[in-house]
Structure 1
Amino acid sequence: MTAPLHAAAASTRLRPRTVKDRFLANGGVGSIAVFFAAVVILFSLTTDAFLTADNLLNILRQSAPLLVVATAMTLVITTGGIDLSVGSVLALTGALSAILIRAGVPWPASVALMLACGGLVGALQGFFIAYEGIPAFIVTLAGLSVIRGAALLVTGGYSIPISSSIGFVDIGRAWVFGLPLPALIAAAVLAVGFVAFNETPFGRYVTGIGANAEAVRRAGVDTRRITLLVYALSGGLSALAGVVLAARLGSGSSNAGQGFELDVIAAVVLGGTSLFGGRGTMVGTVLGALTVAVIGNGLILAHLSPFLTPIVTGSIILVAVWMNFRIFRGANRRR
């Protein structure tokens, strides 16, 4: 009798993982996938224009800056940090790119300078966080104010127009193989981010720092350098988003990106990345960012009052995060 019992127990332990098992093991991604599908179905049934090809392509084009910055924010939050300055960096680099182009600087050089500027700003913040031990929330909150102030200073509070005859605007308006170029840029950034996060030592170090930075440091990894690099990437990709947005709008404005950092953080957390660090997912981030974009687009198509839109959006995000943390992770613990 004993042998069959042991065989049965072993068989139970080694049984193939079912679809339900895999779904529960990836509760963060699973929950946002279900929620994303529900939101798409809701707006498809309540609005006539949502599922049109033009509107779906418009969502992809408009969500490109969000997807680009959310890629970097996934790394930042996985380390246990946060970057509240991304919206301000987006505004500053978009405004500076317009100013440089109007001053006669070739637009490719302007783009390169803005990417370097964003990376430098991010690295400076990363230095204070990694080497001086100042909490990321404090450093980037200060950065949010200082960088936005710098954008207001250089523009005088006005939008700087960019001529549509300059090739720069194609970054935000061109179409390639029937798809908007900003969406393809975002897809390329996400692909590189996915590989770096999941297939390289750098990605493992990022996750390790969020889970147990001291253990990673004792293993011989320069955790401070990795942390600084993560914030430099955040600044650089925020600058890229600023360039894409300025090119699409045909102007650089110090008021661009107001509240953008909250959308980015919401997208990343909705996707299943832990605010406490040590766990992140690029696939979840894509779904989270698209969910945020679809909610904003669908509410506009539903003709809601602009004053109700942030209330509805915030409530939906809160419910989705609650589903993520309580229902699916609770199911994982019961297993």
Structure 2
Amino acid sequence: MTSPGRRANAGRTQEFLVTHAPVLSIASFFLIVCVFFGLTTDAFLSAPNLLNLLRQSAPILIVAVAMTFVITTGGIDLSVGSTLGLVNALAAIALAAGIPWPIVVMMMLLLGAGIGAFNGFFIAFEGIPAFIVTLAGLSAIRGIALLITEGYSVPIASSLFFVEIGRGWLFGIPFPAIIALIVAIAGYITLGHTTFGRYVTGVGANAEAVRRAGIAVRRVTLTAYVLTGIAAAAAGIIIAARLGSGSSNAGVMFELEVIAAVVLGGTNLFGGRGTIIGTVLGALTIAVISNGLILSHISPFFTQIVTGAIILAAIWLNTRLLQRAQSLRVG
């Protein structure tokens, strides 16, 4: 006969597995993908390739961390790719005009914050659905970038220290990867261990209850979109520095990869649950798949098919796991 203590331990174990199933599943999938490409390609596990993978995945990871806050509130930001493209182009133009690179970086981050605040205002204070607002931003912001550059790339002089933001190294690690690590740690602490993080989760779970508790729901929502704007600007700066040029076409379909990373990592697309650890694993998984397919001499366009399939599978799996967790708690 099973003792009450053993049954209680079994129940807690089952509850832990169901609650953390999204993160555990993406961790397992990430390891499987790494092992698969490690066995099927010669260069995947080489140090240069792994370091290059970290450098290339940094922009996605940075924006995905910020997007986790937005999606946890029950929203979405489709304009991050266009914001990246606009910042990418304007940074190159500003540098070509002789503006010092630290000022350029600050200007671009402020621009990203402004775009995020613009989106957040219409979503939080005017009540327009996030999908509509950010879809309009996706089109308009990209159009502004194309108008400014006329579709041409703007070179960035390799002699400028600015390029070290995307190409530099620190302690043998690519500088973009270090920036991404700092952002991930900050996001983890903020979402899981601060009052603002609890408010973000509460807004996604039950915005009306949070409002009645005296929390400024609209301000929390606005702040979440400001974060994605800043993160998209930072990604645009890193990519411009790494490539040594600015282009209005940078970041096309970038928002798809970011959302895929967040949802694949276990954040509930309908709000109320977010995980930075899952987001990091999701972003790395997307980067590993893209890198592995290229090393396998498969068309890079195939990654778009894989990314779309991953989004659908992740949403389906997260919905089933959430239903399972709710039924377990009710039981």
State the shift of 1:21 in Å: 5.4
Question: Is 2:116 the partner of 1:114?
Answer: no
Kept after mapping to 2: 8 A contact 1:79/1:278: yes
Secondary structure, aligned partner of 1:157: coil
Matches of 2:47 and 2:204, distance apart in 1: 40
Question: Which residue among 204, 208, 214 is the counterpart of 1:214?
Answer: 208
Determine what percentage of the aligned residue pairs are the same residue.
62
Kept after mapping to 2: 8 A contact 1:32/1:320: no
Matches of 1:17 and 1:38, distance apart in 2: 27
Matches of 2:84 and 2:302, distance apart in 1: 26
Question: Is 2:244 the partner of 1:247?
Answer: no
| 2:96 paired residue number | 102
Matches of 1:195 and 1:307, distance apart in 2: 36
The 5 Å alignment of 1:292-311 reads: 292-311=286-305
Letter of the 1:62 partner, please give it.
Q
Secondary structure, aligned partner of 1:274: coil
Kept after mapping to 1: 8 A contact 2:112/2:226: yes
| 1:168 paired residue number | 162
Matches of 1:10 and 1:42, distance apart in 2: 41
State the shift of 1:16 in Å: 8.5
State the shift of 1:333 in Å: 5.3
The 5 Å alignment of 1:1-335 reads: 8-9=3-4, 12-13=7-8, 17-18=12-13, 22-326=16-320, 328-329=321-322, 332=325, 335=328
State the shift of 1:310 in Å: 2.3
Secondary structure, aligned partner of 1:202: helix
RMSD: 1.8
Cα offsets for 1:172-209 (capped at 9, x unmatched):
00000000000000001111111111111000000000
Matches of 2:266 and 2:48, distance apart in 1: 30
Letter of the 1:202 partner, please give it.
F
Kept after mapping to 2: 8 A contact 1:125/1:139: yes
The TM-score with structure 1 as length reference comes to: 0.93
State the shift of 1:46 in Å: 1.1
State the shift of 1:320 in Å: 4.8
Letter of the 1:236 partner, please give it.
I
Structure 2 vs 1, CA of residues 32 and 325 (structure 1 numbering), >3 Å: closer, same or farther? farther
Gaps of 5+ in 2: none
| Larger Rg belongs to | 1
Matches of 1:275 and 1:240, distance apart in 2: 24
Structure 2 vs 1, CA of residues 214 and 322 (structure 1 numbering), >3 Å: closer, same or farther? closer
State the shift of 1:9 in Å: 3.0
The TM-score with structure 2 as length reference comes to: 0.94
Structure 2 vs 1, CA of residues 15 and 303 (structure 1 numbering), >3 Å: closer, same or farther? closer
State the shift of 1:153 in Å: 1.1
Q: How many residues align?
A: 328
Letter of the 1:109 partner, please give it.
I
State the shift of 1:319 in Å: 3.8
Structure 2 vs 1, CA of residues 79 and 102 (structure 1 numbering), >3 Å: closer, same or farther? same
Kept after mapping to 1: 8 A contact 2:92/2:240: yes
Matches of 1:112 and 1:307, distance apart in 2: 34
State the shift of 1:307 in Å: 4.2
Matches of 1:9 and 1:87, distance apart in 2: 54
Gaps of 5+ in 1: none
State the shift of 1:13 in Å: 2.4
Kept after mapping to 1: 8 A contact 2:78/2:255: yes
State the shift of 1:41 in Å: 1.0
Structure 2 vs 1, CA of residues 208 and 248 (structure 1 numbering), >3 Å: closer, same or farther? same
